[in-house]
Structure 1
Amino acid sequence: MEGDWKQAFDFNGFFVLPSELIENILFRLPLPEIICLSSACKGLNSMISSVEFRRNYNKLSSDNWIFVFKKQPFKKSTIFGFSSACNRWFRFPIAQLLEPVVPPGEDIYLLAASAGFFLFSLNNCQELVVTNPVSKSAQKIPTNPLGRRGTSSWRRPSMKLIGNRTSGSFKFMFIEDLGQGPVLYLYRSTTNMWNITEAQEMTRQVKENMVFLTAAHQLNETIIVGVSLETNVAASIYRPSSEDGSQGLSIGLLGAYMTGPLHIYGDGRLVVVRSESIDGRSRVIKEIEIWGLNLDGRKWKLFGRTPHSLLESVRKHFEVLTGRLEDREGVVRVILVSNLGGRWNMIWISYDSLKMDWHMAELPEFGMKGINIAGVAISSPPIL
C-alpha cells in the first residue's frame, strides 16, 4: 500500500510549489503522515528535519489523540492512535522498541500517554517502561521508593504523565496515602531520580497551572491533590463536596446491573454519566455532566451538561461502560468506552468550558470486535 502511493505521487511536481505553500500543506497533516513523507522523499526529509520546521509544526499542531493498546502477542504489539484532525486511526508498531527493555512473556498494559511518550506497566516484573515511537527510544523508570507494584496498583486518576514538547523530557507522578495523608512521588527523566513531597491541607487556592491528582473518591468525600511545579514542588490537599447527591455511584466502571451514575475523575474534573436500564440486560446514556473545582477547592461546581439533541446522535446500548478524561487549557476531553456482546464502541466528547461549546462523535471502527483492550489514553499530539 505504501509503495503504491509513493509511485503515484508526483514529488517533482510537488516541489514546483512555493516552499511556504508546501510547509502550510505539511502543517495540516497528522504526525504519522509527516513521518511517512519524510521517509519517502529526500527533499521532504530535508525540510521536515529542519529545526525551524519542527518547532513551527509542534507549535501549530492542535491535533488531539486517543490511544488504544490491544492485548496480543508481544511481536505484534501495536498502539492504535485516533487523530481528531483527520478523523482516522493510525498504527504505531512498538514491539521493536520494547524488545530491549521488556522480558520475554511479559504482560504489558498502557497506563498513560503525553506528547509522544507512552507509559507501560510490566505486570509480571512490576516495573514501568516509557517509550517514544518518534524518537525511537525506550527506557525503564527506576523503581519508586514504595517498591515494585503490579498494574492493578496504579490508580489512574492518582497518577499523571507529562511530556515536554520542547525538551523531549517527561515527568511522572503519583499520589499514595499510607495512612498519614497523601504523599506525592515525582520522577523527572532529566535527573532520573524520584522526589517525595508530603501534601499539605489547602495551602493555596486552585490555580490553572496546577496538576491535579485524585487521591481518593468515595460516596461522601473526594480527596484531590493540586501540585505546583513552577519552582519548589508544592502539593495541596482539597476535599470538594458534591452537590448532586449521587447515591450508588460507580467509580471508573459501570455494568448493566449496577445502579447510580458513573463517575470519572481526572485533572481536577469530575464527569458524571447518567444512564437508564433497558430490559434489565443493557443500559443507555441519558445525560453527561462535567464538574470542576471551585476557586477554594471546597466544592464541585457544575460546568456543563450535554444537550439532549447531541446525545441522541450517539445513543448506544451497553453492558459495560468505562471512560478516561483529560483537561487541557480549559477544554475537557472524554473518551467513553462501552461493550455490548463483545463489540466495543467509543464515543469522543470535548467541552470547551470558556466557549461552552460541546462536540461529540462516535469513533470509526478499527477491528474492535472481540479484542482485549489493555489500556486507553487521551493525549496531546506527539512531537516531531
Structure 2
Amino acid sequence: MDDHQNSTPNAIGLCLLPSELMHRIFLSLVLPEIIRLKLVSKSFSHIIADQNFVRECNSLSSSTTWLFVYKKRWLRDAILHSFTARSDRWFRIPITELLKPINFHSEDLYFLMASGNFFLFASNTVGQVIAVNLVTMTVKKIPPSPLGPRGTSSWRRSGMKLVTGRPGSDKFRFMFAEFVENRPVLFVYNSETEQWESTEAEENHIGSLPRGCQKGEGPIFLNLMNGPRESVVIASTADCHAPVVLRPRFDGRGLIDHGQANAMDRLHVYGDGYTMIVQSEGSSERNRNKRIVSGIEMWGVSLDGRRWEYISRVPNELMKEIEKPYGVMMGCLEERNGVIRASLVSNCEGFWDIIWLSFDRKTKEWTWIPVPDCKMKGWNMAGISFSSGLTLS
C-alpha cells in the first residue's frame, strides 16, 4: 500500500528510539502506513511482526472504518484508493500487478465490495468474481454461481453481502439475493468449502425478523427489488438459515410524501436494512442539468419487517456544509455496531466529490467526515464500498 505523498518516516531517526516508544508510535498509525513500514528496515519489520504488537494493532484496526474507491483509465492504471477518518489523506493500493497472475484479457474490472481483508472484483467479459486478500496478497477466482456467469451490471450493491470471520480469518461468505422464476432465492458461496448453496426464502407470515445466530447479532438484509413505495428484502442470519421475505412499505411521511417532491428528485441508497433518501432540487433556472441536495433522511426496516420506519433527518446546519451542485450521484450505505455510514459520490462537469455521513442510533447524532479530494478528474468511477476489520494477519 502507498499514499499520495509517497512519504516514509525518517528510518534512521526512528531506529535510535527505544523499541517500546517505536511500538507506541507505530500503533498510532493506520494500517497502510504500518504495512509500508515493514519494508523500510528489518528492525521495523521485527517490531511489527511481534505478536503483542499484532494483537494490539488488530484490536485498533478492526474497529476502524475505511472508505474504498476504485478508479481507472485502463487496467494498467487501476488503483484502489482508501480513506479513514483516523488519517487526513488517501492511500493508494495498486491492483494491476496483484491481478497479473490471472488472465482477464486486458479487461477492466469493477469493484463490488469489501469486508475485513477481502475485496471482491467482477469481470464483465468472463462473468466471474475475483476475491483479493490485500494483506496476504493472494487472488482467488470464485466459481460461477448456480445462475451461471454474470456481468457487472447484474450485481446490485444492496442485494449483496460479504461476510468475513473474526479478524485475521482467511474464510468468507459471499451472499446475494435474486429472483429465480419469480421466486426469491438466497445464494451463498463458502470459501472454506468452495461451494455454492441456494435456499428459497419464505414469506414472513409470523411478522417478525429472524434472530441472529449469536447474541447481539441481527439479521443480514439483502434487497431484491426497490420500488417508490415498497421494497422486497431477504432477511437471513449469518449462518444463512431460514431466510425470509420482507416487504417493507413507506407510510407517506417525510420526503417520500408525493406532496413534497417528484419521485425523480429523490435518490434512495439501500443497505443493511436501511435506506437513505436524498432529496434534490434544481440549482438554477438556466442550468436544469445541475441539482443541489436539499434534504436527507434515514429510514429502517421495522421489527415486523412490514414497514420502513422514519429514523432521522440531517440537521439544517449540517446540510449547509454539504450542499454542492452535481450532475449525477450514486451512494453506498452500511450499518455496523449501531452506526449507519453512508457515502454520496457526485460528479459535476467532470469533477468528483465524496460526502461521508454517519448516524449513531444510540446518541441520535449525525456526523459529517470531510473527505479530501481524491483527484478523480479524467478517471472513471469503478466501484465504492465501506469496510471494517482490516488486520495485519
**TM-score normalised over the length of structure 1:** 0.91
CA distance in 2, matches of 1:146, 1:4: 46
Q: CA RMSD in A?
A: 2.2
Instruction: State the Cα deviation string for residues 267-319 of structure 1 (Å, max 9, x = none).
Output: 10010011111122311111111111121111111121111001101210111
CA distance in 2, matches of 1:117, 1:5: 26
Structure 1 gap ranges (5+): 249-256
SS in 2 for 1:325: strand
| Counterparts of residues 206-221 of structure 1 (less than 5 Å) | 207=211, 208-221=217-230
Equivalence for 2:28? 28
1:261 matched to 2:266? The reply is: yes
Residues 70, 78 of structure 1: 8 Å contact kept:
yes
Equivalence for 2:171? 169
CA distance in 2, matches of 1:240, 1:221: 6
SS in 2 for 1:259: helix
Q: In the TM superposition, what is the alpha-carbon distance from 1:54 to its structure 2 partner?
A: 2.0
Between the aligned residues of both structures, percent identity stands at 37
1:356 matched to 2:364? The reply is: yes
**TM-score normalised over the length of structure 2:** 0.89
Which structure exhibits the higher relative contact order, with contacts defined as CA atoms closer than 8 Å and separated by 6 or more residues?
Answer: 2
SS in 2 for 1:40: coil
Instruction: State the Cα deviation string for residues 328-378 of structure 1 (Å, max 9, x = none).
Output: 111111110011111110001111111112111342112111221111111
Equivalence for 2:197? 195
Equivalence for 1:205? 209
Equivalence for 2:383? 375
Shift of the 361–60 alpha-carbon distance from structure 1 to 2, 3 Å rule, reads: closer
Equivalence for 2:186? 184
Equivalence for 1:52? 52
Question: Which range moves more in the overlay, 283-292 or 175-184?
Answer: 175-184
Shift of the 210–102 alpha-carbon distance from structure 1 to 2, 3 Å rule, reads: farther
Residues 121, 129 of structure 1: 8 Å contact kept:
yes
CA distance in 1, matches of 2:331, 2:202: 30
Residues 110, 382 of structure 2: 8 Å contact kept:
yes
Equivalence for 1:127? 128
- How many residues are paired up? 373
Residues 304, 353 of structure 1: 8 Å contact kept:
no
| Counterparts of residues 199-278 of structure 1 (less than 5 Å) | 199-202=201-204, 204-205=208-209, 207=211, 208-230=217-239, 233-244=241-252, 246=256, 259-278=264-283
Amino acid at match of 1:176: E
CA distance in 1, matches of 2:325, 2:141: 40
Residues 336, 348 of structure 1: 8 Å contact kept:
yes
1:338 matched to 2:342? The reply is: no
Q: In the TM superposition, what is the alpha-carbon distance from 1:243 to its structure 2 partner?
A: 1.9
CA distance in 2, matches of 1:266, 1:378: 11
Equivalence for 1:329? 337
1:67 matched to 2:68? The reply is: yes
Q: In the TM superposition, what is the alpha-carbon distance from 1:53 to its structure 2 partner?
A: 2.4
Equivalence for 2:214? none
Q: In the TM superposition, what is the alpha-carbon distance from 1:166 to its structure 2 partner?
A: 3.4
